[in-house]
Amino acid sequence: MIADSTHCGSASCDALLRPGNTNCAGCGMSLGLRWLGEALEGNAPYLVIPACCGIVTAGAFPTTSYGAAVAASTFASAPAFASGIASVLAMNGDKNPVICWAGDGGTYDIGMATLSAAAERNENLIYICYDNEIYGNTGGQRSSATPEWVRTSTTARGKLEQKKDIMAIMAAHRIPYAATLSLAHRDDFLGKVQTALETRGFRFLLMLSPCPTGWKSEPQESIELVREAVLCGLFPVYEIFDGRRFRINVRPETTSPNEYVSRQKRYGLATTDPQRLQARIADQWTRLESLEWEFPADPSQEQLHGELSESVAPGKAALSEPPQEFGNASQTSDAESNQDPPQGPLVGRRMKGSADEVRTAAHH
């Protein structure tokens, strides 16, 4: 009786996101859910989805587009609901992963306190933010994830403020794992979800999620746009372990965001300042590369840096042993370029090999 009036469901567990769902063409979330389903490899999850496009995706009662156990949460509460579910699963020995699937509004804005608290408690759950940089579900209003200069229905002349650095915020919680996901880098994406699934505690994944209706872009270009965002450095693809060890997975090829920006009408020509955008990207990379240099994910790299850059990194203890890991083939090309300490704004000096080669080196 109760189930009749509250649940949508079906007995068959097929795909995580079933065909015939209501997502718009070119929605980044669709591919993200498909890849998430692949990475789960039949490990049935509990999904908690707050108010956002992701719950509209379920479609109308009594059907659902999700091939998983899904709880819709109130807007700010996904990590709280998930904490309750994860607690009860743990005390009953259930191993199924608990995953929050939330938009940027529910993550950067209204859900910030709840997210922070669940991260601080190191709840055993995975939080994935599909970030379309807008309140997409309500027709495209600004959020604190909306980039500077972008026009939304509440920032007609372009947003004046910069996008919130959610990864830095999550890293400051010292959670075991945080990473960004690119829909243009499939192996990297799947590998990171796998890493998240194999890690215990609070895990945070940030996925740039194109929204053609909000971005005023062409649906068939969504993946290309993500690739552009990654390759111009606007959306860095990296991971952070324990909030303090960094690994950059894909390095930019250029610092010009022109290709990315010009293909989306949300970046108005009159409102966007390409020079300042480029400078912002460069700043972002200076900071990120410094962090990776100082706090590499691979401890052997840290020792290596200590040896090679004492003058640039004062206070580093001298190596007691020679850096034997230097000979590791898969790391060589990257390690060589890493011999240079970061030098101000990045000018495409790092990119060697394809993104997925770098990824492979990092993960295996």
Partner 1 sequence: MSRMLLTGNYAAGKVLALAGEANRGARGCASGAYPITPQTEIIEVLSDTQFTKGRIVPVESEHSAMGVCIGAALAGARAFTASSSNGLAYMTENVFCAGYYRLPIVLIAVNRTLGPPWNIWVDQGDSLTLRDAPWLQFYSDSHQDLVDTILMAFRVAEDHRILLPSIVAMDGFIISHMQMPVEIPDQSQVDRFLPLCDMPHRLRAESPSTIGGLTWPNETEKQRRDIQSAMERVPAVLREAADSFESVFGRRPDEAVVPFDTEGAETVLIASGTMAQTLRGVIRERRKLGEKIGMLRIKMFRPFPRREVLAAIGGAKRIGVIDRNHSPGSGGIFWQEVAATLQPKHEALVQNYIMGIGGGDVRPAALNGVIDDLTRRSSATDPIWKEVAA
Pick one of 19, 20, 91, 344: the residue that binds partner 1 (CB under 8 A).
91
Residue-by-residue DSSP string for 156-219: TT---SPPP-HHHHHHTTT-SEEEEE-TT-HHHHHHHHHHHHHS-S-EEEEEE---HHHHT--G
Q: Please state the closest distance from residue 54 (CB atom) to partner 1, in A.
A: 11
* Residues whose CB falls within 8 Å of the CB of residue 301, separated by 6 or more in sequence, listed in order: 325, 331, 335, 338
Is 68 a binder of partner 1 (CB under 8 A)?
yes
* Residues whose CB falls within 8 Å of the CB of residue 48, separated by 6 or more in sequence, listed in order: 70, 71, 73, 78, 79, 81, 82, 85, 98, 99, 100, 101
Is 339 a binder of partner 1 (CB under 8 A)?
no
Is 74 a binder of partner 1 (CB under 8 A)?
yes
Is 172 a binder of partner 1 (CB under 8 A)?
no
179, 196 Cβ separation under 8 angstroms = yes
Per CB under 8 A, which of residues 41..60 are in contact with partner 1? Answer: 44-46, 48, 55-56, 58-60
Is 197 a binder of partner 1 (CB under 8 A)?
no
Strand partners, 245: 241
Is 117 a binder of partner 1 (CB under 8 A)?
yes
Tokens of residue 271, six digits: 């409102």
Pick one of 82, 179, 291, 362: the residue that binds partner 1 (CB under 8 A).
82
Distance of CA 161 to CAs 16, 142, 143, Å?
36, 10, 10
Cβ closest to partner 1, residue 59 vs residue 306: 59
Is 169 a binder of partner 1 (CB under 8 A)?
no
**Rounded CA separation 8/93 (Å):** 26
**Rounded CA separation 243/240 (Å):** 6
Cβ closest to partner 1, residue 44 vs residue 160: 44
Stretch of residues binding partner 1 (CB under 8 A), selected from 116-124, 143-151, 328-336, 356-364: 116-124
36, 16 Cβ separation under 8 angstroms = yes
Cβ closest to partner 1, residue 45 vs residue 136: 45
* 3-state SS, residue 274: helix
Stretch of residues binding partner 1 (CB under 8 A), selected from 114-122, 168-176, 270-278, 344-352: 114-122
Is 282 a binder of partner 1 (CB under 8 A)?
no
Q: How many Å is the maximal CA-CA distance in the chain?
A: 72
Pick one of 24, 84, 268, 325: the residue that binds partner 1 (CB under 8 A).
84
Measured at the CA of 293, the angle between CA 203 and CA 177, to 5 degrees, comes to 5
Is 64 a binder of partner 1 (CB under 8 A)?
yes
Cβ closest to partner 1, residue 79 vs residue 191: 79
Q: Please state the closest distance from residue 203 (CB atom) to partner 1, in A.
A: 17
Q: Which residues in this chain contact partner 1 in the complex, by CB under 8 A?
A: 1-3, 5-13, 44-46, 48, 55-56, 58-62, 64, 66-74, 76-77, 79-92, 94, 96, 113-114, 116-117, 120-121
